[in-house]
Amino acid sequence: NLMPITINGDGTITGLAVGGLPNGSVDADTLASNAVTTNKIANSAVTETKTSGVVGTGLKVIDQWHLTSGPTGNQNPLSSWSRMTSAFSAKSAMTESSGTWSFPETGYYMVMLDWVGRCDAGEDNRWSDIDIMLSTNSGSSYSRQKRSLTSHYNDPNDTPYASATPFYIVDVTNASTFRLQFKLEFENNTGIQSTSGLITSVMFIRLGDT
């Protein structure tokens, strides 16, 4: 049974069924401020199109660093990094301390290292190895996630260089416990890390939520 519609003396209306108002009766000015709360919005209603103007969408972490010194021999971890600042401003930046990297928040991260090293003339280093190492327990232990091997030609009168570009996607599920390092190893522990002209660098890009 339908209830009669009654306009009460206090300005309220009783007996009006859900959907009883014709389309277009309620406009934006009719809604009270803050009337539409988060729990009133269905998850399926929030599409990529509807978030195009929301601050914080898009890439949330973008950071670039370069190596500032060229130590001799194996490095674990590879340290002495400095952020590229001449024409770049980091967004929600990574944190680095003595070659150990921390992530600002959870998410999927692309880690891209552009590495160059050399061996002085006459040194017998046929190969070098650069690894991306990951810890999920705040640095108590690390495991190799990506390995790149390079070869150096042996010339007694020349300085052979080698390069590698290891990259890896890290699923950071806990930013407070995930750590990352780069490990460098030469065959005879006598190679030299190259730094001239920002030659060795690393880039971190957060791709999206985990």
If DSSP codes are grouped into helix, strand and coil, which group holds residue 43? helix
Give the pLDDT confidence score for residue 52 in this predicted structure. 61
**87 pLDDT tier (thresholds 50, 70, 90):** low
Residues 79-99: what's their mean pLDDT?
Answer: 84
Please tell me whether the overall predicted TM-score, pTM, comes out greater than 0.85 for this model: no
pLDDT in tens, 4-38: 888 888 878 887 777 777 887 788 788 888 888 88
CA distance 64 to 132: 16
CB count, 10 Å around CB of 137? Answer: 11
Higher pLDDT, 187 or 206: 206
Structure token pair of residue 149 = 């091997």
pLDDT band at 104 (very low <50, low <70, confident <90, very high): very high
For residue 26, give the DSSP letter. Answer: S
- 205: nearest Cα among 98, 97, 93, 130: 93
Give the separation between CA 98 and CA 77, rounded to whole angstroms: 8
pLDDT number for residue 36 = 82
Between 168 and 122, residue with greater pLDDT? 168
Tell me whether the omega of the peptide bond preceding residue 4 falls within 30 degrees of 0, making it cis: no
Taking the C-alpha atoms of residue 10 and residue 163, their distance in angstroms, rounded to an integer, is 80
Round the average pLDDT of the chain to a whole number and report it.
Answer: 85
